[in-house]
Structures are given as structure tokens and as C-alpha cells.
Amino acid sequence: MIEKEVKIVVEQPPINQLKELLDRDLKFLNIEHQEDIYFNFIYRNFKMSDEAVRIRINDKGIELTYKGPKFNSSLKAREEITISVNDLDKTIHFLDRLGFYPVITIKKTRINYLDDSFLISLDLVDNLGQFIEIEAIHEIEDEKIHTYVNDFIRKYKIRGKLTTKSYLELLIEKNEKNSSSNSNTY
């Protein structure tokens, strides 16, 4: 399936305030606690190929996902293939034997809302910050997603910026920045 989404790095308002507004306006779905283990591949550098293999552990179970390269610059649109698996350790071993190795684990709390054709997720990502992801749940033209996002940003007076980067990319960037600023102090 092709996933199309927009990610907003939220500076203002604070997430609690935003949560109150969304609780009032939208259909609350659920709160998820997600732990995502991202893997790289000895045969193909996923950072270069813009792919990802991820194990997600959440309240519902364990999922194994392949994400293809992003193929649209204005939206974060990419192929996603997700299968449910029954055993975390065995899945990690299975991947290990075939050349996949874990690179980073990302933990987040995700609060999900539904607004007609859009899934709105308020994400609190450990060591990274607060974000909103807006995802079309059906096939939809990019233009309509942009219109919805612009209205959303105006309505809730959000200050921040859009990004097409994944949490994996943002966290790796942040870690690299920290380690280079650390080395500057030497």
C-alpha cells in the first residue's frame, strides 16, 4: 500500500493544549505506545536507498514493516508493507541471519484522531520532540491533502515546519549534530 502523509514539527502550541482542542473537535481513536527498531542491511545501505525495515512493538502486538523509497517531494509518500509476527526475538534473529542489523530504537506515544478521510496523530517522540502526522486513509490527490493540512495549521494556530523526513532520519540527524557539537568543545 502507498502511504501518503504530512509531518509537522510542532513548536507551538504545547502538545497538551493542542490535545484539548483536538479532543473537542475530532473523533478520538486511541493512545498507542510504540517502540520501533530500525534495521540496516549489509547488502544495501538503506540510508542511501531511502528504504527501511522496522519492527514495531505496540499494545496490539509486533509488526514487521518494509518501507520503500519516498517518491514524492511535497508529501511523504512511500510504499509500506506490514505483516504481523508472533515473536520479537525470533524476528530479530531471522533478520540477523539474512544481513539486517539494528541501528536505532525510537520510542513514542501516539494519540490518534479521525477526521473524515484523515488520520491525525499527535506524536511525542523520545529525545526528539512533538509532531503531528496527517495521513490520508484512502487514495486521495496530493492537492486535497495540502489543502486540509493548511486549514488544519491555520485553525489550530500551529507554529512549526513541515518535513518529509522520517523520525529515523530526524533522530540520526540530531545524533550526528550532537556528536559533532560535542567534538567541537574538545
If one asks whether residue 58 binds a copy of itself (CB under 8 A), the answer comes out as no
Give the span between the Cα atoms of 72 and 83, in whole angstroms. 24
Give the span between the Cα atoms of 162 and 9, in whole angstroms. 6
Of 2, 21, 31, 83, the one binding a copy of itself by CB under 8 A: 83
Query: In 3D, which of 40, 10, 23 has the Cα closest to residue 113?
Result: 23
Which x/- pattern, by CB under 8 A, does the window 117-156 give for a copy of itself? ----------------------------------------
Residue 34 or 82: the one with the smaller Cβ distance to a copy of itself is: 82
Of 43, 154, 182, 184, the one binding a copy of itself by CB under 8 A: 43
Q: Residue 38 catalytic?
A: yes
8 A C-beta contact, residue 6 and residue 144? no
Q: Give the shortest CB-103-to-a copy of itself separation in angstroms.
A: 16
If one asks whether residue 98 binds a copy of itself (CB under 8 A), the answer comes out as yes
Q: Give the shortest CB-36-to-a copy of itself separation in angstroms.
A: 16
Query: In 3D, which of 185, 152, 156, 166 has the Cα closest to residue 53?
Result: 166
In the chain, the largest separation of any two C-alpha atoms, in whole Å, equals: 53
